[in-house]
Amino acid sequence: MIAVTRTGKAPDLISPEFAADPYRAYSLLREHSPLLWHEPTSSYVLSRYEDVRRVFQDREGAFSTENYGWQLEPVHGRTILQLDGRDHSTRRALVAPAFRGRELQERFLPVIERNSRALIDGFRHRGRVDLVSEYATRFPINVIVDMLGLDQGDHDRFHDWYSAIIAFLGNLSQDPGVTEAGLRTRDEFADYLLPIIAERRKNPGDDLLSKLCQAEVDGTRMTDEEVKAFCSLLLAAGGETTDKALASLFANLITHPEQLAAVREDRSLIPRAFAESLRLTPPVQMIMRQAARDVEIGGGTVPAGATVTCLIGSANRDPDRFHAPEAFDLYRSELSETTSFSAAAEHLSFALGRHFCVGALLAEAEVRVGVNDLLDAMPDLRLAEGAELVEQGLFTRGLRELPLEFSPVPQQRGAR
């Protein structure tokens, strides 16, 4: 990898300089090294929008997700992310209905609303909150636990499991303690969930876990292990992205007071603001794929079998695709709330193609509910005095904390 120099070359992906400001590095990579061999991660790095979009869409069948075998399987088990072709499409069809349309709106929207307001009731009277630790990191996990029909008393337990899985997936330094905790979580999660899966097969309820156990497409059902692996993936991917996206959205709005005022006045702008925040500060900064054959891309050749690291955080700020890409603008003409949470999205934060994020509409619903509830509960919202907005993370990135102050509202307002 190119070393940091005074001539403006990009810092290494796993260096402290990159961790402090990846966006400066992304700009240099796009300009000088759009295809880069990175020895520490043994991968070819792509940083330009068109190249990353091409890998995700993969209309040529040139890229696979076989790399997830070593990246995700040790902690989750084998998930739908590792499948291609008919196996993938069948299993995606088994899980997708729960995350869209009437199933999402009628069955799970009340779950989202209940969990959001329960958390807010814990701090609305205080006039201050760390939105990261007291709301964002807990809200999506609590929603997933309740959607699955699991014990609400286990919210803290799931939060601990979630934290261990996320640390494992981002453990580029191979810290043995982090690895051990992640593998222990895999075993603890299996011991917890597999007996419940067996029970739901015998006595299904009206919850998501029962739906997954009973779902059938063309005579195919998921095995107990596949259901468990999907729930583990849902816990990590569904929690991590919404967690970081919510906090980043509020940070972007607070640092642009006129846009915060516009959203407070007109809540129909929330999806636009969320889409723009996903573009500017995506919670998932990079996704890996594997070349199925030799591929000409980024001005060079990626050999068959090689890992490709797609820099979403860089592609989303490519000036060849987005006007003034470093600016937060919820009125941005390149984005539309009607497509930003679908496979036709212009930003790349949910990936694209057959592996487009199955939970994108769930994330949009959670953020829409959460932002509405939080704005109602926090008049005169402002950053706490002396607070600094510090981001952290490599594969996923978000705020370490977001201390806010506001005028207390002791009583919960009616549902919107």
pLDDT at 167: 77
Tell me the HSE value of 390 on the side-chain side, using a 13 A CA sphere.
9
pLDDT number for residue 7: 33
Among positive and negative, which fits the CA dihedral 75, 77, 82, 88?
Answer: negative
Question: String of b and e for 182-202 (b: at least 16 CB within 10 Å)?
Answer: beebbeebbebbeebbeebee
Angle of CA points 300, 355, 191, to nearest 5°: 120
Compute the mean pLDDT over every residue in the chain, rounded to the nearest whole number. 86
In this structure, which topology does domain 16-405 adopt according to CATH?
Cytochrome p450 (1.10.630)
**Which span out of 100-104, 133-137, 407-411 was modeled with the highest average pLDDT?**
133-137
Q: 3-state DSSP call for residue 307? A: strand
Question: So what's the pLDDT on residue 129?
Answer: 97
| Better-predicted residue by pLDDT, 253 or 287 | 253
CB neighbour class for 229 (10 Å; exposed up to 12, middle 13-18, buried from 19): buried
Q: What is the pLDDT of residue 116?
A: 97
Kindly state the helix (H) or strand (E) to which residue 270 belongs, with its residue range. helix 270-280
- Pairing relation of β-strands 307-311 and 300-302? unpaired
pLDDT digits (tens, 9 = 90+) for 149-181: 998 888 888 878 877 877 777 766 678 888 888
Looking at residue 233, what DSSP letter applies?
H
* pLDDT of residue 214 exceeding 60: yes
Q: What is the DSSP letter of 279?
A: H
Residues above pLDDT 90, as percent of the chain = 53
**8-53: per-residue pLDDT in tens?**
477 888 888 998 999 999 999 999 999 999 998 889 999 999 999 9
pLDDT digits (tens, 9 = 90+) for 356-365: 777 788 889 9
Task: Quote the pLDDT of residue 377.
Answer: 95
Q: What tens digit of pLDDT does each residue of 58-105 get?
A: 888 899 877 766 656 666 666 666 666 666 566 667 666 767 767 777
Q: What is the pLDDT of residue 71?
A: 59
Among candidate residues 105, 117, 165, 166, the one with its CA nearest the CA of residue 142: 117
Q: Are strands 300-302 and 295-297 parallel, antiparallel or unpaired?
A: antiparallel
Give residue 83's pLDDT.
Answer: 60
pLDDT confidence of 107, banded at 50, 70, 90? confident
- Cα separation, 70 vs 81, in Å, equals 12
- Sign of the dihedral defined by the CA atoms of residues 165, 167, 137, 287, in that order: negative
Residues 59 and 415: their CA atoms lie apart, in Å, by: 44
pLDDT score of 2: 33
pLDDT of residue 157: 84
pLDDT bin (cut points 50, 70, 90) of residue 3 is very low
Average pLDDT for residues 369-397, to the nearest whole number?
A: 93
Strand 295-297 to 128-130 pairing: unpaired
State residue 72's pLDDT score. 60
Instruction: Report residue 15 as tokens.
Output: 């260096």
Domain ranges of the chain: 16-405
pTM confidence score: 0.88
